[in-house]
Structure 1
Amino acid sequence: MFREAKQNRIFQDVVHQIQEAILQGKLKAGSKLPPERELKEMFKTSRGTLREALRVLEQKGLITIKTGVNGGGIVNALTTQQVSESLDLLIRYQRISLRDLAEFREGVEGIVASLAVERAKNEDIKHLKRLLADAKTHLEEGASGWDEFIGVDNQLHMALAHIAGNPIYESVLQTIYDNIHRYFDQFLPREEEILRENYQDLCEIVKAVEKGQAAQAHLLVQNHVYRFNRLMEENQEQKKN
């Protein structure tokens, strides 16, 4: 399965070979890597270089290193979590601008909304309406219900992603909504009028899903994301000045 590592870049080649064996299915989820002694012999490398390569693979989420008598490298099941964790770091440290985030959300969430229309079942519609009822309750609380309202708003967006049935969209959007409050807290004015506009948008989106209007749902979500991002960008500019 493995060959002697290229001597001019031993470390990178060890990582590459093991990674490719996992991605190509030669090493299955749950299986153990060969013992350290055997890997050293296969790659013709030192213990230090091998262990560093294994640590990199663990950081990538491809393996888990266990210690003890029955320890060693265990191959992880590949999921979208690895991508989500990288995106999580970018958002948390604000390496993604409001404009970057808006462009992504306008495109992806529009598609997600149209897919949700095509795939929604009666129980899904009922769930969306329950979320609308929760949003209305918090809207009527005024400014004191701001955080709870935004939380329900996020839940409704994620409900659409779940209904759409694509785990990649759902996983990436979950990461965004787990962290988007960092932008809202800084740049979205806490005004009751914003909540009312937001609630009206959500009502129209759910209505389009219920009526099977995929193109309308797509457009409504895009406009919703665009408008609220513009509010945050304007507030961001005011703070700079």
Structure 2
Amino acid sequence: MPAKSGRSSEDVALQIEAAILAGRIMPGESLPSEREMQQQFQVSRGAVREALRALKEKGMLEIRKGAKGGAFVKQVEVSNVSASLALFLKQHPVAPEQLVEFRENIDRTVTMLAIARADDAARQKLLESARKLQVAAAETDPDLEVLGEMDRELNLLLGRMSHNPIFEWVMGALQQGFSSYDYALYEEEDFRRQTVDNWVETARRIAENEPMLALSSISNHYVLLRRCVERRTGDEGTIVQAQQSGINPTPNEQSEEI
């Protein structure tokens, strides 16, 4: 439709966005040329370009150059959504207890969905991965980065087992942004051993279709986490700032600042 005068570029952008969201223009498809859109919307080429620029910034379009270039509808991937949410979480720090509380409730819901919906192969994969984490953590001088990555993969696998893409996106964002101070559990030997043992127990209960016992294991994880955070964080601001920057403070750095 002809764009409304006075805010032509905004109206053009809204019409194109509505067409994309309604499925009239599918991911991967190209928009008409700038000249064609200029005629369709009855606006200047500058207004068309401004509308396309705005939609590109929103992540809805990608602009390709060359003979076969133009404006194309962008396929938004789970990783893009998770990365954006992770950035938002980093820029809006919350208190440790609020983050732990949110994670615990998410994990409980995802666990119940995983038990109800995941197939045997996925359940066994979760259990095998948890046991590999347990073995890696039992080494004399374990690589904490490797343990952290294994822990993240377990959480992401559990999210996929829910067969609900929204939970998968949120789990991915939390793991990219920060993981409820889980890294602290792996930096101290006693908490590390209890954490990996509890992961195995949780995975085993999921594999055996025992929801109440699985939820008990989830609760136990967050009991450990709260104890660990209370022991290690004399200055919550230090930890929050480190999480925002994506850097986990070492035990020595924490003790010095405390």
Q: Which range, TM-score by smaller chain?
A: 0.7 to 0.9
Q: Secondary structure at 2:235's aligned position in 1?
A: helix
The code of the aligned residue for 2:107 comes to: E
Q: 1:237 and 1:209 mapped to 2: Cα distance?
A: 35
Give the drift of 1:80: 3.8
Q: 1:115 to 1:169 in 2, by over 3 A?
A: same
The residue identity in structure 2 corresponding to 1:162 is R
For 2:139 and 2:196, locate their aligned partners in 1 and report how far apart those are by CA, in whole Å. Answer: 13
Q: Which residue is equivalent to 2:74?
A: 76
In structure 2, what residue type is equivalent to 1:115? L
Match of 2:20 in 1: 22
The two structures have a TM-score, normalised by structure 1, of 0.83
Gaps of 5+ in 1: none
Aligned ranges 1:141-160 → 2 under 5 Å: 141-160=139-158
Match of 2:166 in 1: 168
Q: Tell whether the 8 Å contact from 2:78 to 2:169 is kept in structure 1 after alignment.
A: yes
What letter is aligned with 2:168?
E
Aligned partner of 2:214 in structure 1 is 217
**C-alpha RMSD of matched pairs (Å):** 2.8
SS at match of 2:143: helix
1:4 to 2, 5, 11: 2
Distance between the aligned counterparts of 1:239 and 1:9, measured in 2?
47
Distance 2:219 2:42 in 1: 55
Structure-2 separation of matches of 1:234 and 1:56: 48
Which amino acid letter does the alignment assign opposite residue 192 of structure 2?
L
What residue number does 1:200 align with?
197
Deviations 1:33-79 (A, max 9, x none): 11101212333333233212212212322222111222211122354
Aligned residue for 2:191, secondary structure, equals helix
The code of the aligned residue for 1:197 comes to: Q
In the alignment, the residues of structure 1 paired with residue 134 and residue 173 of structure 2 have an alpha-carbon distance, to the nearest angstrom, of 25
Q: What code does the residue aligned with 2:83 have? A: E
Change (3 A) 1:222 1:83: farther
Aligned counterpart for 1:140 among listed residues 138, 158, 175: 138
Residue number among 99, 102, 105 corresponding to 1:101 in the alignment: 99
- The separation in 1 between residues aligned to 2:87 and 2:131, in whole angstroms, is 33
8 Å CA contact retained: 1:61, 1:82: no
**Residue in 1 aligned with 2:54?**
56
Whichever residue aligns with residue 104 of structure 1, its letter is F
* 8 Å Cα contact 2:31/2:72 also seen in 1: yes
How many angstroms apart in 2 are the aligned matches of 1:121 and 1:23?
33
Distance, in Å, in 2 between the alignment partners of 1:40 and 1:14 is 10
Following superposition, the deviation at residue 205 of structure 1 comes to 0.8
Query: 2:244 aligns to what?
Result: none
Q: How many residue pairs get matched? A: 237
Letter of the 2:205 counterpart: A
Structure 1 range deviating more: 15-24 or 175-184: 175-184
Structure 2 distance, partners of 1:87, 1:191, is 29
Compute the displacement of 1:18 (Å). Answer: 0.7
Give the letter aligned to residue 220 of structure 1. S
Mapped to 1, the partners of 2:182 and 2:107 lie a distance apart of 18
Mean Cα displacement is larger for which, 70-79 or 223-232?
223-232
1:34 to 32, 49, 74: 32
Taking structure 1 as reference, are residues 147 and 81 closer, same or farther at Cα in structure 2, changes over 3 Å only?
Answer: closer
Alignment of 1:81-92 (within 5 A): 81-91=79-89
Unaligned runs of 5+ in 2: 238-257
Q: Is the 8 A contact 1:110 1:219 kept in 2?
A: no
Of all paired residues, the percent bearing the same amino acid is: 30
